[in-house]
Chain A
Amino acid sequence: MTDHHAAAPPSGPVPWDKAFALRLLTDMLRIRRMEEKSAELYGAGKIRGFLHLYIGEEATAVGALHALAPDDNIVATYREHGHALVRGMEMGSIMAEMYGKHEGCARGHGGSMHLFDARTRLYGGNAIVGGGLPLAVGLALASKMQHEQRITACFFGDGAVAEGAFHESLNLAALWKLPVLFCCENNLYGMGTALERSESQTDLCAKAASYNMPALRADGMDIVAVHEASKQALRTLRESAGPVFVEYQTYRFRAHSMFDAELYRQKAEIEEWKTRGPIHTFTARLKAEGKLTEEEFLAIDAAANEEVAAAVAFAEAGTWEPVDDLLKDVMTPPPPAPRPGGGDAGSPPAAAPCEG
């Protein structure tokens, strides 16, 4: 079952119809344009705190998320703007959250690192490295215990594999045969520490395989490879009725966060990876196959820029949550006064989990 050396990038033509190919290209461009604007707004002081850009890694979120069903669960990291957008959140809601506005998806409580959306089942936006993995295991456990078909996709970086949470989570998921797709976005650096400087075993699929879990690897710079590997992983997940690990080998073109002077890697290395950039390579491939014209590309790009402009306008027009509401969501508001007498607690309510 374990086959972690087989996922070479597919060669030959893009195996998708034009509409699907353009949809994925569009999503990559939407992320790119949104984040380029975010960086600019950070410089202008509109966005504060930490801002971790996904630029260069777009193929991973787009390719993987388009393989999932709408009611699957997603758990992501602090580098999750792209995942949130592809999953179906409004760009305005994301931008307003980064502004800290009341109209943001988390009402300005979370910012860039903590995007949440009950509607699309995005469970964060988790900014403790590795912290999302146990959460994903539990979401999958709930699905299994309730006989639901949904799976839980959990995104994390290569840095997370050094955390105990990674090992405990892979073990639990494999032991209990839970439907978790572990999506490792290996961009080669945990902040500024290169993988080979932090891991005795740099073959991440070998780590996953040691938990008796199918593991495969995909070229994360190639959207076709990412999507096809994700589909294959999901097929394996359904067949084996247990978790699957996928390593997407990718690269972040920008600094770790806006405070990073990038002393730990050479400019030549970044430039070399940029030649493999997921958007321009896919664009060129589609054009060569006659699935995309320059006019179509420009129209897609213009629409992405318009969407960004509208999102920024939405965020700018947003309001600040009243300070009087500061403590409002720390705890769920108490229910009406309980009945007097013995055992006043009653039985637990029959309601579904709180999802907004």
Chain B
Amino acid sequence: MSRKLSYREAMREAMHEALANDPRVFLMGEDVGRYGGTYAFSKGFLDEFGPERIRDTPLSELGFVGAAIGAALGGMRPIVEVMTVNFSLLALDQIVNTAAALRHMSGGQFSVPLVIRMATGAGRQLAAQHSHSLEGWYAHIPGIKVLAPATIEDARGMLAPALADPDPVVIFEHAGLFNIEGDLPDDWSADIRSARVRRQGKDVAIITHGGSLPKALAAAQTLAEQGIEAEVLDLRVLRPLDSESIAAAVAKCRRVVVVDEGWRSGSLAAEVMARIMESAFYELDAPVVRVCSEEVPIPYAKHLEDAALPQPEKIVAAVKEMMG
């Protein structure tokens, strides 16, 4: 059995469950209360849980993310919603220099059980200050976990283990996914440790995450119609990366395309490729290729934005060129 719901509804349900089950959990961020959440994830929460636990903040990303770190140290379990990854740069000092460093720097005395959620990614013509995919930057940082739920099941299921985690967890929600609908099986499960195969294949492995997952699946469908069976591996957890699942996909398919909405240089795609070089080089039948965003601030005009991003056609083309 299963039931149909949207990504937005799934995440809303997950937050509702956390707030209802644990008095230490509270939600804070810009417009999470009266406005109902920038993306309506917390609509109705203010009436149900009150202004102490559904806490509207001023436009002070550094201040309120830092305050959430302090609240986590003080015994609470905050969920911080940052409107977009671009705005999270204003809070990067607190995330990198405090949240990520505190446990090790204090000799293991203080952990920071904090969850930060933020929208990421392009595709809505929001231009260069609301559209970037910087999860690769976050995945660079020791001391935090980085998640990218890309399915209904993960939108519903990754928050609870993230809140149960004693260390900071940053969740990237691709804005292009919010309205997708899908079936949530009754026996759903969602760990925050492993990658998952979203489509079985044998000819090529497409390794991706977040907003690029539907594009990779669309490309795989097109390829299947042309006789190429692509496996699609959804990384889900960007730090720590599930190297075993990556190696297994390489061993099975022997050809790999990495799809990442981040910019090519210094990208998460580059890290995945490097790990394949280190651990599975001799399993490969062809050099690994990648489809990333063009190295440009994301432009407004639709045709330019489309051209800047990974698209199913680009993935298909990359696979076909690789297959010869």
When chains A and B are docked, how far (Å) is the Cα of A73 from the Cα of B110?
13
Known A342-B186, A343-B160; contact A134-B22, beta-carbon cutoff 8 A: no
User: Least Cβ distance of B213 to chain A in Å?
Assistant: 21
Of the listed residues A145, A146, A342, the one surrounded by the most CB atoms of chain B closer than 10 A to its CB is A145
Provide the residues of chain B in CB contact with A143, threshold 8 Å. 74
Q: Are A146 and B67 in contact (CB under 8 A)?
A: no
User: Least Cβ distance of A272 to chain B in Å?
Assistant: 37
User: Least Cβ distance of A109 to chain B in Å?
Assistant: 5
B227 at the A interface (CB under 8 A): no
Provide the residues of chain B in CB contact with A262, threshold 8 Å. none
* B121-129, B162-170, B196-204 - the one binding chain A: B162-170
Provide the residues of chain B in CB contact with A56, threshold 8 Å. none
User: Least Cβ distance of B52 to chain A in Å?
Assistant: 6
Q: Are A329 and B104 in contact (CB under 8 A)?
A: yes
Q: Are B190 and A345 in contact (CB under 8 A)?
A: yes
Q: DSSP majority for the A interface?
A: loop
When chains A and B are docked, how far (Å) is the Cα of A125 from the Cα of B161?
30
Provide the residues of chain A in CB contact with B22, threshold 8 Å. 347-348
Q: DSSP majority for the B interface?
A: mixed
Within 8 A of A (CB), among B176-210: 186-192
Closest A residue to B70 using CB positions: A138
Q: Are B109 and A356 in contact (CB under 8 A)?
A: yes
When chains A and B are docked, how far (Å) is the Cα of A118 from the Cα of B75?
13
Q: Are A116 and B109 in contact (CB under 8 A)?
A: yes
Q: Are A145 and B160 in contact (CB under 8 A)?
A: no
Q: Are A138 and B73 in contact (CB under 8 A)?
A: yes
User: Least Cβ distance of B13 to chain A in Å?
Assistant: 12
Q: When the two chains form the complex, which single residue of B77, B106, B157, B163 contacts A343, counting CB atoms closer than 8 Å?
A: B157
Q: Are B63 and A141 in contact (CB under 8 A)?
A: no
Closest B residue to A150 using CB positions: B74
Known A73-B74, A141-B71; contact A110-B107, beta-carbon cutoff 8 A: yes
B29 at the A interface (CB under 8 A): no
Contact with B along A337-349 (1 / 0, CB 8 A): 0100111111111
Provide the residues of chain A in CB contact with B76, threshold 8 Å. 141-142, 145-146
Sorting the interface of chain B by its residue count into under 10, 10 to 19, 20 to 34 or 35 or more gives 35 or more
Closest B residue to A107 using CB positions: B107
Q: Are A331 and B107 in contact (CB under 8 A)?
A: no
When chains A and B are docked, how far (Å) is the Cα of A164 from the Cα of B263?
29
When chains A and B are docked, how far (Å) is the Cα of A145 from the Cα of B189?
32
Provide the residues of chain B in CB contact with A171, threshold 8 Å. 58, 60, 63
A77 at the B interface (CB under 8 A): no
When chains A and B are docked, how far (Å) is the Cα of A118 from the Cα of B102?
12
Provide the residues of chain A in CB contact with B167, threshold 8 Å. 331-332
Provide the residues of chain B in CB contact with A164, threshold 8 Å. 62-63
The 4 closest A-B pairs by CB, nearest first: A138-B70, A134-B66, A142-B74, A168-B63
B residues at A contact (CB < 8 Å): 18, 21-22, 24-26, 52, 57-58, 60, 62-78, 93-94, 97-98, 102-111, 113, 142-143, 145, 157, 160-161, 163-167, 186-192
Q: Name 18 A/B residue pairs within 8 A (Cβ), A-sorted.
A: A106-B109, A114-B106, A123-B70, A125-B106, A131-B66, A131-B94, A134-B70, A135-B66, A137-B63, A139-B73, A330-B143, A331-B145, A332-B166, A348-B160, A348-B163, A348-B164, A349-B164, A355-B110
16 other A-B residue contacts (CB within 8 Å) besides A135-B69, A331-B167 = A107-B107, A109-B107, A110-B107, A116-B107, A118-B109, A134-B65, A140-B74, A141-B67, A142-B76, A143-B74, A145-B71, A146-B75, A329-B104, A331-B145, A345-B157, A355-B110
